[in-house]
Amino acid sequence: MTEILSAQAVRLALREQSDAGDAIHLQRFFKTGDGEYAAGDVFLGVRVPATRKIAKAFAALPLPEVADLLDGPVHEERLAALFILNAQYAAAAKPRTRDEDKQRAIVELYLDAVRRGRVDNWDLVDSSAEHILGPWLADRPRDLLFELVARESLWERRVAVLSTFAFIKSGDPSTTLALADRLLPDRRDLIQKAVGWMLREIGKRVDRTVLTDYLDSRAPRMGRTALSYATEHLTPEERANYRAMPRQE
């Protein structure tokens, strides 16, 4: 069993599902060219449903083997590792089988990977932050998110704001709004989209008035992309009103 539950076994399973044509497409889609945000990342060409299926089959993979996958050069290896961490965190957080030591170990492994640049594309961040860091911080101090958002790293900042999706889903928009304020000047596309997306979710899942109150005072300082995402589900008249506000760059 130990030989089966290994990082190498996961790698072999992923390669069995790989497609060279899909690899070329994915490397273009995820911006892996020189000077792009994911320059140098390597893809096998494994579709996400297949990666999820493989991760489910290796859900009990020991954490040192998961860490090995996270250190790998291949994007799908890191994605599979994150899916495995999600599943293990959820299992350790169940009320009847709650294991805080296991949760802490998973969070520490995840944060180490984030800080070392192993969670280094939007799909990796979006597939993990709300499932690991968000739940861990739900009933704990959230200073860590403000530390991450203060870093210059695009991915650490995106992890910070996407982690708050877990709070939004439980009805708490406060941390999202505070982090959004810190990110208002950041005009990088993937930060703009993340902030706008989370603000939109506040309007959809928590309280529409919380969103509009925020926009009433912040819209003039928001980037166009963030504002577009945040107002996506408002009326055409409301969207036009926010776009027409005098800009305060």
Q: Can you tell me the mean pLDDT for 197-204?
A: 98
Asked whether 176 and 200 are in contact (CB, 8 A), the reply is no
User: Taking the model in full, what pTM does it have?
Assistant: 0.95
pLDDT digits (tens, 9 = 90+) for 109-120: 999 999 999 999
pLDDT digits (tens, 9 = 90+) for 14-63: 999 999 999 999 999 999 999 999 999 999 999 999 999 999 999 999 99
The pLDDT value recorded for residue 2 is 40
3-state secondary structure 39-59: CCCECCCCCHHHHHHHHHHCC
pLDDT digits (tens, 9 = 90+) for 50-75: 999 999 999 999 999 999 999 999 99
Q: Rounded to 10 degrees, what is the CA torsion of 101, 155, 134, 85?
A: -50
Q: Can you tell me the mean pLDDT for 94-106?
A: 95
